[in-house]
Every structure is written in C-alpha cells, then in structure tokens.
Structure 1
C-alpha cells in the first residue's frame, strides 16, 4: 500500500477539501504526507516597467504569507489526524511539473489532489494543473472531485 502521499494544494475550497480527504486516507493506511504549495510568479506585460519592483515585492510578500497560512493549516489538520506531515513551498511558473518532480524527489508513491483549483477563463487559458500532472506523472494520482 502507499507509504508517502504528496498532497498539492492551492488553498482553494476544493483543494482544501481534497487535502482533508487525503489526510484522512493517509491516517487510514498509515502513510505519511508531504503537503506542497507551488507559488507562481507574478507575470505582468507592460511597456513601462518603472516602479514594478514594488509590485513584484508586494506580490512576493503576499504570496509567501498566503502559502505559509495554507501550510500551517495543513500541518494542523495533519496533527489532528495524527499523520506525519512535512510542509513544502516552492516557487515555479509550472505547477504541474513542480508537483511531478517533488513527488519523484521525495519518493512519494501517490499524489492526491483536487480535480481543479482555477475556474473559468484562467482554467481555460492556463490548462488544468491536474490534467498536466495526470499526463506527466509516473507516480499514481488520486483525484478528488
């Protein structure tokens, strides 16, 4: 059975629900968990980059604070379930690739994630991270809907 589950989350309601279900599953089978937040960089197209340093710095600060909150909540949820849990946050412009690489690097034998986090136009333009993970992962993927 599975011994180490990677649980990527973006803090969205569906992702948070998937996190809880994945931690419940980990408890049931006696697996440990690694919770991953992938922080995507700010991407701005502008003809006048003057002053953008402040915007980038503020975005990075906000992004880090949000990731820290998500991971703290995840660690608390794991603690309540008595599941050994590591929290990881990584910067990447390609969340799916980072998820697949993190699973391999940490010898995870299962990735458990939500079916989607983004919706609407963003999901259409960026594609589903979950679909990309399913297409590129050698590690089995459990998708929560």
Structure 2
C-alpha cells in the first residue's frame, strides 16, 4: 500500500480507471493528490499581450475544471485534494511528486503512436523516464 499517490489529469476520459487504481492502492491513512498542469504561452512580437494573457487564463481555468471534475468522482470518504500548477506537464508532475513526498504516480497513456506522438511528445514517457519514484502506467486505447 502507498501513503501518498499523485494522480495527474488532463481532463481525458480515463479518470474512472485511474481513481479505481488509486483507491485500491492507497493505504487506509493515505492521501491522493489530483494534479492538473496548465500550459503557459509567452507573447511574441506578433501577438498582443492581452491575447496571450486570455489564452493563459483559459488554460488555467481548464486545469482547475479538470481537477474539480476528478475530485467530484471520488467517494466522500477519500482523503483527496487537488493542485493546479503552471508549466510543462512532465516537469511539474515530477516536481509536485517530489515536493509532496509522493511514493507513486498513476498516469495514463492514450496509446498514441507514430508521427502524432513524435510531434507532440509524450508527457507519460517523460515522466516514466525521469521520475525517481514508482510510476503506474495505465494503458488506454
């Protein structure tokens, strides 16, 4: 059993399976932390700062919504809380796992492959390669 589990979410449809795994693996007095990471754009010479600010605010609100929606899926007896961070998803997932002294990260893979995965990169793959704690990968198709 694990004492503290980090459960990153991007708002995808895999929350039910992630929650089931987390609640099965958490110790009776353990804690689950739901994390969503909002990206952050920086303005360039071709963009208005106000436009970039609105996009950033929208990404932050979406991350907040992701956390709220996942928290609402937990049983009332669960010891769970949410965190929203801004930055690069894989870096923030690892950073929060270390800062919060988590002993497990549960993360989903969407099963993307080929050119799509090459262009977008893979948050899951980066977490798997760089985390110093256990990572449970849930493969989704």
Check whether TM > 0.5.
Answer: yes
Q: Is 1:135–2:107 an aligned residue pair?
A: no
Q: Secondary structure at the match of 1:13?
A: coil
Structure 1 runs not aligned, ≥5 long: none
**SS class of match (1:48):** coil
Q: Does 1:123 align with 2:117?
A: yes
- Higher helix content, 1 or 2: 1
For the pair 1:54 / 2:50, whether they are aligned, the reply is yes
Preserved CA contact (<8 Å) 1:115 1:144: yes
Partners of 2:67 and 2:82 within 8 A in 1 = yes
Structure 1 CA distance for aligned equivalents of residues 56 and 23 of structure 2: 32
Determine if the alignment matches structure 1 residue 70 to structure 2 residue 70. Answer: no
- TM-score, with structure 1 as normaliser: 0.80
Question: How far did residue 25 of structure 1 move?
Answer: 2.2
Residue by residue over 1:29-77, the C-alpha shift from the partner in whole angstroms, topping out at 9 and shown as x without a partner, is 4331011111111367x6633xx22221221221122112111112222
Query: Which runs of at least 4 in structure 1 moved beyond 4 Å after TM superposition?
Result: 117-122
Shift in Å, 1:127: 1.5
Which fold has the larger relative contact order, with Cα–Cα distance below 8 Å and residues 6 or more apart in sequence? 1
